[in-house]
Chain A
Amino acid sequence: MNRFFKSMYMLMVYLFLYIPVIILVINSFNSSKYMTGWKGFTLDWYSKLASNTMLLDAAINSFTVAFLSASAATVLGTLTAVTLYRYSFFGKKLLYALVYVVIMSPDIVMGISLLVLFASIKIELGFWTLLVSHITFSIPFVVVTVYSRLSGFDKNVIEAAKDLGADEMRIFKSVILPMSLPAVAAGWLLSFTLSLDDVIVSFFVTGPGYEVLPLRIFSMVRLGVKPEINALCAIILLFSLVMVMTSQFLMRERK
C-alpha cells in the first residue's frame, strides 16, 4: 500500500512537471490551428516557422549573444575564480561575497541598474549593451562553478607542480586549467542557457534594432499563441536537452 502511494506520488509530480511540455510538443505537430483537439499530423508549423524571418532573425541574435557572452563570461569568471583560489590578498572574502550578491539580486534590479548606467553614459541600447549585460550576470555563475571545483583540489598538487620547477604560468596552463576544465565547460553551458532564456534584463537593455527571441515570442503571444511558436519551443527544448546531456557527459568523463 505504502509503495503504491509512493509511486503514485512520484507519477503525479512528474506529470505535473512534464504535461505542459508534452502538450506543447504534441501541438507543434497538430494540424488544428486553435489547438482545440487533435486534427491530424502536420509539419506545416515547422515550415511556416522557417519562413518567418522576424522570428528567425531574433533566434540568430539570441544565439549570437548567448555564444559571445558565455565565452567572455567563462574567460573572465575562470580567471577570477583562479585568482580568488590561488592568491591571498586584502578583501578577498568580501570579493567572494560580492559574487553571491549578484547571483541573488533580482533580475529586475539588475536590468534597471544597467539601464540607468547605459543611459547615464549615453550609450545607444542595442547589441553591445545587451552583450555587456549578459556577460555581467553570467560571470558570477562561472566564478562559483569553477571556484567550487578548485577548492576541491588537493593543494599539494599545485605545490608539487611548483616543487618540480613550474612557474605561475605553467602551473595555470598545465595543472589548474586541465583539472578545472569540466567546471569551466559547465560554467560556459550555464551562461549560455542563462543568456538564451533571459527576458527581464534583456527587456531593459536592448533596443528596437536588436531583438532577441524571448522578447519576440513575448510580444507575439500577446496576440494569442500561434502554432509556429509551439514548433519553435519544441526545437529549443530539443536543443537544451542536447546541452544538458553534453554537460552531464563532460562532467562524468573527467572525473
Chain B
Amino acid sequence: MKQNSPVIELTNITKSFGENTILKNLNLSISDGEFVTLLGPSGCGKTTILRLIAGFEQPDEGRILLAGSDITDQPSNKRHVNTVFQSYALFPHMTVFENVAFGLNMDKMSKSEIKAQVNDALRMVKMSDYADRKPSQLSGGQQQRVAIARAVVKKPRILLLDEPLSALDFKLRKQMQVELKQLQRRLGITFIFVTHDQEEALSMSDRVIVMEEGVIQQSGTPKQVYEQPANLFVARFVGEINVLDTVVEKHTDNGFACKIEGFSCEIHSKKRPAEGSKVSILLRPEDLRVEELAKAEKPEAGSIFGRVEETTYKGATLESIIVLPSGKKLLASEFFDEEYEEFDYKLGQDVAISWVDGWEVVLVNE
C-alpha cells in the first residue's frame, strides 16, 4: 500500500566518534508514510542515525537526501524533520501552549493562525485542558504528549522518535503505543521510531530494521523479521528462540534428513543445503508442541523427547524448560487451553516434542 517514492535516503553513511567507527557504509531508504522502527542492542548506533537525519551530527562520508534533495549540509533548523526526545526536552520556563507554539513562532506565522494550530495539536494529543500549565506540573505521559504535539505541529516530512516511551510505566506505554500508531495513520507522516523493546517494534511498525554494531542485519515487516530471521543475530534478538545445530545428512523428497541432538529427524524445507553442510534449525518456543508420556510409554520412533526441568507461569502461557538427553535445553511456551484448566507439568515428567512441519527456520551456517 505504501510503495511511494522514498522520503529519506541515507547513502553510504560512515560516522565515527574519535577512534570508534559507529556506522559503516550504511544505506537506508524509507518510503513516504512508512512507520519504521530501528531495533537493536544498546550502543549499536540507533540514536546516531536519528541525529544524522535531524542534523545534530554530520556524517564523515555519504549523503542524506530528503524527498530527493541533498540535505547533508543543511543545519537542523532548516530541515523539515522534527524530533521527539527520550527526555521530552520541553522548555521548562514556557507553558504547554508556548512550548507547542515555539516552532510555529519560528515560522513567522500570524498570531491567530498559531493559536488555531496549537489548539488543534493539543486537542489531538488530548492535552487541551493543560495548555496553561508548566511542564513541571505534568506527569511523564502528559509531558510525552506535549513533546509529540510540539513536533507534529510543524508538519514535518519525518518525525523522529528516540525511545519516546521508555520512561513510561507498562500500562501507559501500551496505551501510548496504540495512540502513536493511530496518530501516524491519521497524519500520514513518516515515523522513524527507535526502541530496545522488540515487542513494541513488532506491534507498531510497518517495517522493522534490526541493527547490530552499526550494520543493518535485516529489514522487513514484523512478520518477516519474526518468522524468517535472516541470521542468528536477528533470530536471537527478536523474541526467544531455540537454536539446534546440526548437519545435513541426505536430501529427501520434502527436505532433508539430519540428526538433532542425537534424534534422527526429517526436516521439511524448501531450502536444501548441500549434504554435509552445517545448518541451524530455529524453533520459536510457541511453535513447540509438548506431549506428556506415560511412565512405561516408549516414544515414537523419529520424535524428540526430554524431561521437564522447570515451569514458569506467565499468565496467559506456561513456559517450560525441557532437557534433552544430550543436555540441550529447549524453551516451550504453551497457551492455556480452556478445556484443561489445570494443566501444568510435574517436574521430571517425560515429554515428547514435535512441531508443525515447515514452521522451523533453517539457516545455513558458513
Contacts and interface: CB of A to CB of B under 8 A. Distances in A.
Interface of A: 154, 156-157, 159-167, 170, 174-175, 178-179, 254
B106 A159 contact: no
A159 B82 CA distance: 11
Interface of B: 54, 56, 75-78, 81-83, 85-87, 89-93, 102-103, 106-107, 150-151, 154
Contact of B154 (A156, A162, A164): A164
B92 A163 contact: no
A170 B106 contact: yes
A-B pairs with lowest CB-CB distance, top 3: A165-B106, A164-B103, A156-B89
Nearest to B101: A164
B107 A165 contact: yes
A157 B135 CA distance: 12
A183 B366 CA distance: 62
A174 B77 contact: no
Contacts of B86: 156
Contacts of B76: 159, 162-163
B82 A163 contact: yes
A155 to B, nearest CB: 9
A156 B87 contact: yes
Contacts of B106: 164-166, 170
Contact of B83 (A160, A170, A178, A254): A160
B93 A163 contact: no
Nearest to B92: A179
A27 B106 CA distance: 61
A168 to B, nearest CB: 9
B147 to A, nearest CB: 8
B89 A166 contact: no
A46 B263 CA distance: 107
Contacts of B151: 163-164
30 contacts: A154-B87, A154-B89, A156-B85, A157-B89, A157-B90, A159-B76, A159-B83, A159-B89, A160-B90, A160-B91, A161-B91, A161-B102, A162-B75, A162-B76, A163-B76, A163-B83, A164-B77, A164-B102, A164-B106, A164-B150, A164-B154, A165-B103, A165-B106, A165-B107, A165-B154, A166-B77, A178-B93, A179-B92, A179-B93, A254-B93
A179 B81 CA distance: 25
A66 B250 CA distance: 94
B56 A175 contact: no
A133 B106 CA distance: 41
Contacts of B93: 178-179, 254
A205 to B, nearest CB: 39
B91 A157 contact: yes
B56 A164 contact: no
Contacts of A175: 91
Contacts of A160: 83, 85, 89-91, 150
Contacts of A164: 77, 82, 102-103, 106, 150-151, 154
A157 B154 CA distance: 17
Contacts of A163: 54, 56, 76-77, 81-83, 151
Nearest to A160: B89
A16 to B, nearest CB: 41
A162 B81 CA distance: 11
Nearest to A158: B89
Nearest to A181: B93
A178 B103 CA distance: 17
A161 B91 CA distance: 8
A145 B83 CA distance: 31
Contacts of B56: 159, 162-163
Contacts of A159: 54, 56, 76, 83, 85, 89
A254 B78 CA distance: 32
Nearest to B98: A174
Nearest to B103: A164
A65 B85 CA distance: 46
A61 to B, nearest CB: 38
Nearest to A174: B102
A246 B366 CA distance: 73
A22 to B, nearest CB: 41
A178 B94 CA distance: 9
A154 B89 CA distance: 7
A167 B77 contact: yes
A162 B102 CA distance: 11
Contact of A165 (B77, B89, B90): B77
Given A161-B91, A165-B154, 19 more contacts: A156-B86, A159-B54, A159-B85, A160-B90, A161-B102, A162-B56, A162-B75, A163-B77, A163-B151, A164-B82, A164-B103, A164-B106, A164-B150, A165-B77, A166-B77, A166-B106, A174-B102, A179-B91, A254-B93
Nearest to A157: B89
Nearest to A179: B93
Contacts of A161: 91, 102
Contacts of A179: 91-93
B152 to A, nearest CB: 11
